[in-house]
Structure 1
């Protein structure tokens, strides 16, 4: 059972969003599963894809999932929406989710709360902390992640400290 999973909805592989999501996962003890949806875009609408079904199962069995997206038109990407549509009703029940979004302007700072949080809760995830919004220009700066983690840590589930192997998905 993965402790921490990361799902990145940026259509560009290994993007700033990817780097930001891994920064959050590191503060949670490291990612056990990393799903960069750009690597699976051609399969997301193939409902018979066993690869995508396996990714959904891995994310659904994690304790915590960091769900990350760039801000597109004040919300998350269609790529991420297509992946989240693969989860059944309450498919993330028992999982704590961290909504993370990157954007160019502080004007969209509430996007994780108004968009991404809603769909994660609808899927049954617990979202025990405020979502994290990071400006693109600050994605490599540890300060926004450190500030978020300092406020969020008391509300996040305790994770076992056993060693883990990262499985890029």
Structure 2
């Protein structure tokens, strides 16, 4: 296993048009996975357009990998059902963090790089990596795969650890 180089703060903002699997109700939550780390949001009951606004944190270990997300419908009596999954390659975010933009930026907000929908991500549209108040941030809207509908909106922030800060 590689070295821990920072923290990834994933704010799961909201879901849109989450697929319906149970006619009685829908109780979606999001599970994120980075390497062997997992974290989950709270369950939002009876909602197809849930708003979580919840921050989940994972350690970033080199080599930087793929952020995987899965939306589930919590079932009170049986196994939770999947409502789709998505993924995002974190390598572009890692490259911009290594570029040292956070330490150099004197403006309040600066777009650093544009990421377009591709085979290594589930982006709905273009996404920008920005330096906001000296922090590297990416806002993304991901389409859920292997399901008839659904999207997730996230804000991803890379935090260098003090002992691993790059210059």
TM-score, with length taken from structure 2? 0.32
Higher strand share: 2
Higher helix share: 1
TM-score, with length taken from structure 1? 0.32
